Amino acid sequence: MSEIKKDKAREFKLTSWALKNRNTVFLLSLIIAVFGFMSYRGMPKELFPEVVFPTILVQTIYPGNSPIDIENLITRPIEKEAEDVKGLKQITSTSLQDASMVMVEFNANVPLREALQEVKDAVDRAKSELPTDLLTDPFVTDVDFSEFPIININLSGDFSLEELKAYAEYLEDMIEPITEISKVQIQGVEEREIFIEVDLIQMESLGLSFQDIENAVSWENVSMSGGDIRLGKMRRSIRIVGEFEQIKEIENIVVKRELGRTVYLRDVANVVDGYAEPTSMARLDGHPVVSVQVIKKGGENLLNATDKIFEVLDKAKETGAIPATMSVTLTNDQSDIIRKQLSNLENSLILGVLFVVLVLFYFLGTRNALFVGLAIPLSMLTSFMVLNIINYQINMIVLFALILALGMLVDNAIVVVENIYRFVDKGHKPLEAARLAVGEIAIPIIASTATTLAAFLPLAFWGGITGEFMKNLPVTLIVVLTSSLFVALVIIPVVSATFIKHGENRHDNTPNKRKANRLALILVGLAAILYIAKWFAIANILSLIALIVFLNALFFYKVERWFRDVFLTRLENLYSRTLNYALKGWRPVWFFIGTFGLLIFSVLLFLVRQPEVKFFPTNEPSYINIIAELPIGTDISATDSVINKIENDLDSLLVPYKSIVKSVLTTIGQGDPDEWSAFGDQVNKALTTISFVDFKDREGINTASIMSMLNSELLNQYPGVDLSITQNLMGPQAGKAINIEITGPDFEKLTTYADSIEAHINAQNIQGIEGLKIDLDVGKPELLVKIDRDKARRFGLSTMQIASTIRTSLFGKEISRFKDGEEDFPIQLRYKDEYRYHLPT
């Protein structure tokens, strides 16, 4: 009697409330199931977590200045002020022709908005030291490294370049409005431009200047409002229309009228409807293509984005917007890689759940296993709700954490269910038994869960890029285990109290075959409906459950009964005899000494032969990048010539592997995809991407060996070309494995030292080093023009006038725009090529 009174004194208030409000708990469970599933479906899916470090970019444009001038006049003053901002990690600057780029990187704990304001304040302080004739103030913005290309759509066929470009622009217009897409870039085409190419001799003989031609063109190519006029009781707007509609109109502009003679633009210049100098080229398997590169917004669902892109492509083909004769090839499809990797992890998770439940069947019996197994989906669905609320993504780290937590999810539920049955066996009714059982063990299982969480908690404060990357693991585990504790204390007691029958034999697992077969058929029917709806993951789960139910009714229950009644009994007896033997006399001491000796031996073995340490092991690459960089200033035609040779050599090397190579895409004008570039053309760089077929279709060929072969055959084979070979990134962008930084005031000495160090390391033939790279960009070679100010003043010229004229002559100057339909194109003024590329001119 005293024991019953003591039992009644035990209770856990949260569980007691749940037991008094069972309908509410069942409704809560339904809500968790629905919203958890919706959260899972709606969460962004990526291969790896997005690691964001607050990075602010300061861009300043100052035309007509060399990189050295840009560094002294703009870059250094901004760097000087930016060094004092709080939370600074590092500053990286690049001084280019006409432009400066200063990138300020902060520690991960600095809020992005605060970092942006800090840099803006620093730039404001630096303005007093900047040139007063800047065209615009320095532009300060945050850099989103999570925006990256997710797919390349390559267009080719028997079409002109202009037609391919038009189709590419159509796709650009259709894809850019997609919510998940940041921008779309078209590669392999040139932009249309109207060139006014001036004859130097004719212009000088007629006493004309560039300013005369600019004024004549810009003053004629206008449309503007002339105000309103009242005509009777109505008012009408007056609009002057004078924009060019045809190229001939530009040629017939009057540039000068003097002494009865009219000088037309055609007398001193050729008006050419052409294309800007190319800054990119694209080839797929050696054939020219126009490539549409799609870049995703940070934090958006990549799989949803690509699904919408596929819908756009399908619709374009169905409606004829893209001709059936056009070849549309997809490369660098990140969604394909992510779908396969996540699908493998999801299948592993599903199988893990089923194996856990199967083990529970054998150890706890059918009914207990169902009660305990319920904790797994409910805990995970609860976790998906929480992870969605805190803006987490579904990625490999999160799914790995869920797999890691599988075994621990049921620990609390096992203890709760077994203790409830213990109280039922003592004579308590199920509802009372659930209240007393949880009251007895609530604090111990809370403490047990807390100790497990405490082990993972320090990982959440891991610093650096790797820490930010791996933070998903401890956070997911903490959320999942906390969810399992909630399910064990609130939902499992309610389910157990509702379905446990007073006085039943819980070890009688003989199934009702008719009911089991009926349940299996219902599950198969539901699975078939879900397969039609393309919800394959849930359909697979229901199919496997139906199979287990059917097999259990057929013969599993007999195996389960033998396992529990015979095998476990014998195992317990063996354990009891072993324990009794080990605890007699001095045997516990010898067991302790032996165990301690094994510990010492393990430590010594570890010290003698230390294992290889790799935080993010490299898998067989799905694609290989070959990045070629020629000296800065190399013309795109020269880059193309060198890349052509590399492509031919690569084609020969890949002949034995043609069956597993999906495509080879070369883009001239693009560098390393893992390196971020703010602005400036990269015509001296090229990227060749070799994509392989799926792992299962590679006929046992190791793509890592192909990469190793390319390293040995291609590196250091092309003089003047900096070649590097990389594979798809497996882990966070943490930079190179080893960096050697050389600092000092003398730029020329630094260059010499860097070359010496590179040569010394290469001479050592260190195993594992595939290629060294010096990240020094010396800038384009320059021809310096020094103005004789005394002579210039005699002719009434200033340095600015001379510099502006030279720039217009060579580089060109946009003086107006030519409209053609809904598009408009720049009108560029410059010398003819025979004068532009003739130095004495």
Q: Span 609-614, mean pLDDT?
A: 72
d(CA 266, CA 255): 9
Q: How many CA atoms lie within 13 A of 788 on its CB side?
A: 4
What stretch(es) of the chain map to CATH 1.20.1640.10?
2-42+338-579
Q: Is 106 within 8 Å of 88 (Cβ atoms)?
A: yes
Distance, in Å, from the CA atom of 429 to the CA atom of 146, rounded to the nearest integer, reads 57
pLDDT band for position 1 (50/70/90)?
A: very low
Q: Which of 388-392, 451-455, 563-567 has the lowest mean pLDDT?
A: 563-567
Residue range 193-275+784-836, CATH number: 3.30.2090.10
User: What is the share, in percent, of the chain residues with pLDDT greater than 70?
Assistant: 91
Q: What is the mean pLDDT of the chain?
A: 83
Residue range 690-746, pLDDT digits in tens: 988 888 888 888 888 898 899 888 888 888 888 888 887 655 555 566 778 887 777
pLDDT tier for residue 488 given thresholds of 50, 70 and 90 = very high
Looking at the DSSP assignment, which residues form a beta bridge with residue 724? 627
Which CATH superfamily, name and number, covers 55-142? Answer: Multidrug efflux transporter AcrB pore domain (3.30.70.1430)
Distance CA 19, CA 432 (A): 9
Chain-centre distance for alpha carbon 575: 53
Question: How far apart, in whole angstroms, are the C-alpha atoms of residue 690 and residue 622?
Answer: 9
Contact criterion met (CB below 8 Å) for 110 and 53: no
Distance CA 445, CA 459 (A): 23
Query: What does 728-776 look like in DSSP terms, one character per residue?
Result: ---S-----S-------S-HHHHHHHHHHHHHHHHHHT-TT--------
> In 127-209, which residue ranges form alpha helices assigned H by DSSP?
161-175, 200-205
Q: Is 50 exceeded by the pLDDT of residue 107? A: yes
Residue 115, SS3 per DSSP? helix
Q: What is the pLDDT of residues 14-46, one digit of tens each?
A: 999 999 999 999 999 999 989 998 898 888 887
Cα radius of gyration (the chain): 36
Q: Is the pLDDT of residue 505 over 60?
A: no
Cα angle value 86/89/90 (rounded, 5°) = 115
pLDDT at residue 213 is higher than 60? yes
- Residue 830: is its pLDDT beyond 60? yes
pLDDT at 772 over 60: yes
* CA-CA-CA-CA torsion sign (356, 358, 362, 364): positive
**Where does CATH 3.30.70.1430 sit in the chain?**
55-142, 623-732
Strands 290-296 and 149-156: antiparallel
Average pLDDT in the 534-539 region? Answer: 71
b vs e for 702-741, b when ≥16 Cβ sit within 10 Å of the residue's Cβ? ebeebbeebbeebbeebeebbbbbbbbbebbeeeeeeeee
Going by pLDDT thresholds of 50, 70 and 90, the confidence category of residue 383 is very high
Largest CA distance in the chain: 130
Top-confidence residue, 123 or 750: 123
Q: Which CATH architecture has domain 623-732?
A: 2-Layer Sandwich (3.30)
* pLDDT at 9 (0 to 100): 52
End-to-end CA distance of the chain: 115
List Cβ<8 Å contacts ≥24 apart for 770-778: 770/711, 770/715, 770/725, 771/711, 771/715, 771/723, 771/724, 771/725, 773/722, 773/724, 776/750, 776/751, 777/94, 777/632, 778/632, 778/751
Which CA distances in Å does 181 have to 177, 240, 297, 301, 679? 7, 40, 5, 10, 20
643 CA to centre of own chain: 28
- pLDDT score of 481 more than 90: yes
Q: For the domain 2-42+338-579, what is the CATH superfamily, name and number?
A: Multidrug efflux transporter AcrB transmembrane domain (1.20.1640.10)
Q: Return the structure tokens found at 577.
A: 């005899």
Q: What is the pLDDT of residue 511?
A: 60
pLDDT band at 675 (very low <50, low <70, confident <90, very high): low
Residue 345 has pLDDT above 60, yes or no: yes
- Torsions phi, psi for 195 (to 5 deg): -110, 130
Per-residue model confidence (pLDDT) at position 716:
80
Domain with CATH 3.30.2090.10 in the chain: 193-275+784-836
The CA-CA-CA angle for residues 528, 534, 535, to 5°, reads 80
Nearest Cα to Cα of residue 413 among 487, 325, 476: 487
3-class SS string, 685-715: EEEEEEEECCHHHCCCCCHHHHHHHHHHHHC
Element (H, E) at 725: strand 722-727
Interval 409-463: pLDDT, tens? 888 888 898 888 888 888 888 888 889 989 999 999 999 999 988 988 888 887 7
**Of 159, 177, 151, the residue nearest 291 (C-alpha):** 151
CB 500 within 8 A of CB 430: yes
Parallel, antiparallel, or unpaired: how do β-strands 192-198 and 139-142 relate? unpaired
CA proximity to 153, closest of 47, 355, 309 = 309
Ranges of H-type helices in 252-333: 265-268, 302-319
